[in-house]
Structure 1
Amino acid sequence: MYKLAAPASAEIVIKKSRFIGMLFSVASRAEAQLLLAGQRRQHPGACHVCWALVCDGDSGLDDDGEPSGTAAKPMYNVLMHKDLMNVLAVVVRYWGGIKLGAGGLTRAYGQAISEAVKNAELQPVEPECERRCVLQFADESSLRRLCEQQHVTVLDAAYAEAVTLVLRMKVSQAREFEASARNLLRGALQFSRAA
């Protein structure tokens, strides 16, 4: 998986129509909608502002008036093929007066995003996971110190007869972190996958 280091763009012209492909790093659909609104304001004369969003748990597509499946779907396919995550792809089209047909539109929208990806600086992203950990009150500060040392994030804490922490860490470090925590607390804790 990869994410964008910075926004990227590219412009292509096909039969007098301008296609401006843009990529933005986003953390949520709400952030993507704000960026999209900004692009609509920057390009008031555009005939279409199509988009594809790949975001943790909240992806989306919009052909913005182009024939169904000819704009956003090819853009989305490029994002999937390039293994990008948390990215908004936008293509602004200025119509040049010549119809491109469904195949021509599909190629144009896909190419606009492919060209933008070529101009993008991509950073690898390590997959993360969440673990639920149940432990005694007396051991909480020790486990929190271990989390800090190993760059594990404490997302949530609940207190009842015992302490329940929800932790986020890289998948690659999960097994080693659990072993370190068990050693530190002499086995006096339970791990499970967070729901």
Structure 2
Amino acid sequence: MSERQLLSEGHSEIVEKKSRFIGRALPITSEQQAQDVIKAIRKQYYDARHVCYAYCVDQITRSSDDGEPSGTAGRPILDMIGYACVQNVLVVVVRYFGGVLLGTGGLTRAYGQTAKEALEAAEQMEILAGRKIELVCDYNDYGKVDYLVRTGQIPVYGSEFGAEVTFSVMLEEEKYEDFIKEVTDLSGGRVRMDAGNPLKYGLVGDEVRLL
């Protein structure tokens, strides 16, 4: 699975045996920002029993059980971050104790599920390694190449329609050689292609974002 980043904050809330778990997933750019946000959330939820968290930023990974049994809160939150392949992220789960003990298994599931739902609620950008390829062709060949692009779900990044058609696509690195061959075979070599250097780009739905 490719790397991802959050573009917005995600919220979640679950209730498990009268305990209330509130999740927040936030994009961050530094460890200091993570600590500042955690401090602010502790202040906001001053009356909560536990404020547990995990974050990954600048190749730094930290987590906290904040008084819960070891490995039942911070670890499952961190695991959810890992499963989602999200970088530069902080996930905080606040617990209001409901008077019923959940046990280590129940705590692990509750913290993990709250973190998972908070991450899923945030808008995410997929980070991919690839190349920008500019293609120039006549209108007859454009129909064939456009069909290839659409069926392959390849993002188009800008188009110009003049005497010829000029358009660019963002192509994942592992698809590069096959795409070049397919376009060459499809058009008999008539489509002119100019491939840029390898780069990383973001994908939000069908929208390409250069990084």
Kindly indicate whether residue 36 of structure 2 is the aligned counterpart of residue 34 of structure 1.
yes
- The one-letter code matched in structure 1 to 2:61 is S
Cα distance in 2 for residues equivalent to 1:31 and 1:53: 11
Kindly indicate whether residue 47 of structure 2 is the aligned counterpart of residue 45 of structure 1.
yes
Deviation at 1:176, TM superposition (A): 5.4
Kindly indicate whether residue 7 of structure 2 is the aligned counterpart of residue 2 of structure 1.
no
Hey, what does 1:116 align to over in structure 2? 118
Deviation at 1:56, TM superposition (A): 2.1
The structure whose residues are more often strand, as a share, is 2
Q: Which runs of 5+ in 2 are unaligned?
A: 130-172, 174-194, 199-211
How big is the alpha-carbon RMSD for the aligned residues of Structure 1 and Structure 2?
Answer: 2.0
Hey, what does 1:23 align to over in structure 2? 25
Say which SS state the counterpart of residue 59 (structure 1) adopts: strand
Q: Which runs of 5+ in 1 are unaligned?
A: 128-171, 179-195
Hey, what does 2:93 align to over in structure 1? 91
Say which SS state the counterpart of residue 86 (structure 2) adopts: coil
- The one-letter code matched in structure 2 to 1:32 is A
**Residue by residue, what CA displacement relative to the aligned partner does 1:137-158 show, whole Å, maximum 9, x if unpaired?**
xxxxxxxxxxxxxxxxxxxxxx
Deviation at 1:126, TM superposition (A): 3.7
- The total of aligned residue pairs comes to 134
- The one-letter code matched in structure 1 to 2:80 is V
Hey, what does 1:13 align to over in structure 2? 15
TM-score w.r.t. length of structure 1: 0.65
Deviation at 1:125, TM superposition (A): 2.0
Say which SS state the counterpart of residue 60 (structure 2) adopts: coil
Hey, what does 2:59 align to over in structure 1? 57
8 A contact 1:28–1:58 mirrored in 2: no
Please point out which of 66, 73, 76 is paired with 1:74.
Answer: 76
Hey, what does 1:131 align to over in structure 2? none
Deviation at 1:124, TM superposition (A): 1.1
Say which SS state the counterpart of residue 67 (structure 1) adopts: coil
**Residue by residue, what CA displacement relative to the aligned partner does 1:95-131 show, whole Å, maximum 9, x if unpaired?**
000000000000000000111122111101246xxxx
Could you list the structure 1 runs, at least 4 aligned residues long, displaced by more than 2 angstroms after superposition. 175-178
Cα distance in 2 for residues equivalent to 1:123 and 1:102: 34
Hey, what does 1:151 align to over in structure 2? none
Say which SS state the counterpart of residue 22 (structure 1) adopts: strand
Cα distance in 2 for residues equivalent to 1:104 and 1:28: 32
Say which SS state the counterpart of residue 89 (structure 1) adopts: strand
8 A contact 1:29–1:59 mirrored in 2: no
Question: 1:122-133 residue pairs with structure 2 within 5 A?
Answer: 122-126=124-128
TM-score w.r.t. length of structure 2: 0.60
